[in-house]
Amino acid sequence: MKWWLLLSTIAFLSTISTFQLSPSLRRGIVEFEPVHKPIRKPVSGLDYCPTPKCMSTKMRTAMCDLFHSQGGRQARKTRESRSKYNDLNSCEGETIARGPQWSSSLQGSTRFKIARDPLHRFVSAYLHLCKHSHKCGRHGQTIHRFTRTAYRLLKNEGINLGLGLYNKRFIRHHISPQSWFCRDGSRKILHLIDGNPRAIAKQVKRVFRSAGVPERVSRPIIFALSTKGKSSRAHDRVLQAILSNRETLRLFLQMYYMDYRTYHFPLTREIREKARGFIVE
């Protein structure tokens, strides 16, 4: 191992999340609720677990392109999203492909999912649900109010929130901890780092290669995944708002404590400073 790789590995290991919540906060954490099971596996040799707000639209589109490629049709360029989700739902509902173009040489499937830093994922979910899709009503006026509502939904205490059944289910699905999804056995975990799409693209490329996906098929998909999106000032503002309010930060840590423990995401120095009294090193 080269010295620089060794140093970077040591640096990463030193940041792995080893914190625990204080005893008073642990009594209110959101526990595991293994209710989200993968039901669609359209690509032979690949078993991807889609998790909301973890690049799932891009990856579902990529898997759809691979499916069509296996069926003998040319893979299309992966985009941020298609005009309608029905295109993806239709693709994922088709029979597992074993077409003439290529098929996996593996006996089983390469099982994987993408995990994202819980704080960035929660901010992204708030902006998507409340500011872009307008699903939150008065509960989305501020991140602080939304966090209180999110906590109640995850603790199954959101019976009379006035959101309507569809919106309540839609919001709860998107904010559910990542550790709730696809608890059907071991999977390779790819770590999505906000602001660094090339890093996740390289991880996906290795997974595709291990599953026998031809490079000519994966190349346009990997290129699309490598494209960096526009930075969001709103994302930064909401993130700082969470860190500046101890009640909001407390609820956030109680909701996603198990994600930090499961996927070993580090708490940044700023979070550790703001969460003094909440965590035990």
Q: What is the pLDDT of residues 12-51, one digit of tens each?
A: 444 445 688 988 888 888 887 765 665 555 677 888 999 9
Residue 149 and residue 192 in one domain:
no
Residue 86, domain member (yes or no): yes
Residue 246 and residue 215 in one domain:
no
* Measured CA distances, 77 to 116, 158, 205, 207, 228 (Å): 24, 41, 15, 19, 15
Per the structure, the complete domain to which residue 244 belongs is given by 119-180+231-280
Residue 76 and residue 201 in one domain:
yes
Query: What number of CA atoms fall less than 13 Å from residue 15's CA on the CB side?
Result: 12
The pLDDT assigned to 93 comes to 62
Residue 249, domain member (yes or no): yes
Residue 13, domain member (yes or no): no
Q: Is 247 helix (H, G, I), strand (E, B) or coil?
A: helix
Residue 27, domain member (yes or no): no
Containing H/E element for 113? Answer: strand 110-116
In our burial notation (b when 16+ CB lie closer than 10 A, e otherwise), range 130-146 reads: beeeebbeebbeebeeb
pTM: 0.84
pLDDT at 74 over 60: no
Greater model confidence, 104 or 259: 259
Residue 145 and residue 250 in one domain:
yes
pLDDT at 145 over 90: yes
Residue 131 and residue 248 in one domain:
yes
The pLDDT assigned to 230 comes to 74
Give the count of domains, the chain.
2
The pLDDT assigned to 158 comes to 62
Residue 197, domain member (yes or no): yes
pLDDT tens-digit readout, 180-201 = 998 878 899 999 989 899 999 9
pLDDT at 109 over 90: no
What's the pLDDT band for 11 if we cut at 50, 70, 90? very low
Residue 215 and residue 253 in one domain:
no
Residue 53 and residue 175 in one domain:
no
pLDDT tens-digit readout, 202-260 = 999 999 998 888 898 899 999 999 987 777 899 999 999 999 999 999 999 999 999 99
Residue 59 and residue 189 in one domain:
yes
Residue 38, domain member (yes or no): no
Residue 52 and residue 65 in one domain:
yes
Residue 51 and residue 132 in one domain:
no
Residue 244 and residue 172 in one domain:
yes
What's the pLDDT band for 86 if we cut at 50, 70, 90? low
- Which long-range contacts does 274-278 make (Cβ < 8 Å, 24+ apart)? 274/243, 274/244, 274/246, 274/249, 275/249, 277/22, 278/21, 278/22, 278/25, 278/246, 278/249, 278/250, 278/253
Residue 99 and residue 74 in one domain:
yes
Could you give the CA distance from residue 242 to residue 186 in angstroms, rounded to a whole number?
32
Identify the bridge partners of residue 192 per DSSP, sorted by sequence position.
116
Residue 40, domain member (yes or no): no
Residue 165, domain member (yes or no): yes
Strands 110-116 and 188-192: parallel
pLDDT tens-digit readout, 158-183 = 677 888 989 999 999 999 999 999 88
Greater model confidence, 52 or 45: 52
